[in-house]
Amino acid sequence: MAPNLYPSAQRLGSLSQRALAIGAAISWRARNSSGPT
């Protein structure tokens, strides 16, 4: 495989991880601000 794929794959992994963390934080904050349903 081309060595160029490695850094891009790592960047994709970190980006997806950051996106997951941001999404979780947003959903958690929304759930918190809305209060008990």
CA 14, CA 10: separation in Å to the nearest integer? 6
Which of the four pLDDT bands, split at 50, 70 and 90, describes residue 35? low
CA 17, CA 22: separation in Å to the nearest integer? 9
Reduce the DSSP state of residue 27 to 3 states and report it: helix
pTM assigned to the model: 0.56
Q: Average pLDDT, stretch 11-25?
A: 92
Amino acid type, 20: L
At 23 the pLDDT is: 94
- For residue 37, give the DSSP letter: -
H or E stretch at 5: helix 5-34
At 32 the pLDDT is: 83
What's the chain's average pLDDT?
A: 82
